[in-house]
Amino acid sequence: MADQFKGVINQLNKTAAIMKIEHDELEILRKPDRIIEVSLPVLMDDGHIKVFTGYRVQYNNIRGPYKGGIRYHPKVNLDEVKTLAFWMTIKCAVADIPYGGGKGGVSVDVKKLSSGELERLTRAYTRGFADFIGPTKDVPAPDVYTNPQIMAWLMDEYSHIKGENTPAVVTGKPVEIGGSLGRGTATSLGGFYVFEEVLAKMKMPKKKISLAVQGFGNVGMNFAVIAYAAGYKIVAVSDSSGAIYDKNGLNIDKVLSHKQATGSVINFIGAKNITNEQLLELPVDVVVPAALENVITEKNAGRVKAKVIFEMGNGPTTAEAEVKLNKKGVLIVPDVLANSGGVIVSYFEWVQNLRHFYWDQAKVESHLKRQIINAFDKVWQTMESQGNREMRTAAYIVAVERLVKALKVRGI
């Protein structure tokens, strides 16, 4: 399973070769600073104790405290957490915010836990990692199957341990306890700002393009809602149960009501049920993978018809698929740029917590727009200077340059 982390290090090596970086600096970026694995005994509702395994990988903090989500998923493993922590290091550097990269996770199926069990698991996780996290050390956030409520429990438990109210220990909290306005939709809105910049650069007119969005969780759903409200035609969306397709365009507001009523997007009146795999191969201009990793692979890359793959999920495109798609001239807008709106607004939340001074939503969104468009411009210029259409390589060049400069300046 250790293939995923190998893949990201290959990407780092490829970037370093283009940049002609010294071996020593690269050696530091190839390995995480710290890997922590903790056993988490949790009292279950039936009176038994069950022991879960919790992970936290602190990859690099040369530019600031470690930053990264905690995911609760049955497939969480160390290789995945290491990979995600590396990506966070790159993402924070691309976005040019003063954070390093980290990631956490627990191997658990949350659908099988009661609310009480979920709370006890989260508090156990907090106790297990309390010495390693904190506002100036490592600041967790929500990820797959974790949410503002889970962050609230984490913050509460940490505050009890430290004996003082510490909202800045996590981001993505409810607004009532120091969360930021606009955080819930930040990843999607930031992505949408980048999306519009990409279309402008490629001279793709809004009226003529069609989108397919894979994944109707928080990120995919909000991206679809924002794009639909802005007048874009979305012909397909999907969730874990399957996908729906209507070549004339879906009414996303009605799809959302249908999903809330039935628990899934499938069987939506007037649309055709298709599979998640078929969605990626539709005759559309833009595919937006907003679900889990490795959905566009060497096997299906040849059948992808879109001109743009806009990565709103983490790591949806494998390295082998990327080689094929680059040859076909498909523009891949990488996750480390496209979905960095979440961590940018997490940074704003942290700043508000540390200053005890809170912003209105308009201020959050205007700062987000400026920060993410600056990041986009820097990546696009770097790509053009390379003379190719490899946007991921350009993003990595931007990030690695910033990380290496920080290493040199600090004298490590």
| Residues 174, 209: Cα–Cα separation, whole Å | 36
Is 103 an annotated catalytic residue?
Answer: yes
C-beta of residue 142 within 8 angstroms of C-beta of residue 69: yes
Sequence-distant contacts of 250-258: CB under 8 A, at least 24 apart = 252/224, 252/225, 252/228, 253/225, 253/228, 255/216, 255/224, 256/221, 256/225
Structure tokens at 280: 């990626």
| pLDDT score of 312 | 96
Q: What is the pLDDT along the chain (412 residues), one digit of tens a residue?
A: 468 899 889 889 989 888 888 778 788 899 999 999 999 999 999 999 999 999 999 999 999 999 999 999 999 999 999 999 999 999 999 999 999 999 999 999 999 999 999 999 999 999 999 999 999 999 999 988 999 999 999 999 999 999 999 999 999 999 999 999 998 899 999 999 999 999 999 999 988 999 999 998 889 999 999 999 999 999 999 998 999 999 999 999 999 999 999 999 999 999 999 999 999 999 999 999 998 788 898 999 989 999 999 999 988 998 899 999 999 999 999 999 999 999 999 999 999 999 999 999 999 999 999 999 999 999 999 999 988 889 999 999 999 999 999 998 988 7
| pLDDT score of 1 | 43
Q: Which of 67, 82, 91, 103 is catalytic?
A: 103
Q: Where are the beta strands (DSSP E) in 272-333?
A: 272-274, 286-289, 308-310, 331-333
User: pLDDT tens for residues 120-177?
Assistant: 999 999 999 999 999 999 999 998 899 999 999 999 999 999 999 999 999 999 999 9
Q: At what angle do helices 78-95 and 391-410 cross, to 10 degrees?
A: 80
214 burial (CB, 10 Å; 0-12 / 13-18 / 19+) is: buried
Structure tokens at 256: 């959302």
pTM of the model: 0.93
Domains of the chain: 34-167 (3.40.50.10860), 186-338 (3.40.50.720)
| pLDDT score of 2 | 62
Please enumerate in sequence order all residues whose Cβ is within 8 A of that of 50, keeping only pairs 6 or more positions apart, or say none: 41, 42, 44
Beta strand pairing status for 210-214 and 101-107? unpaired
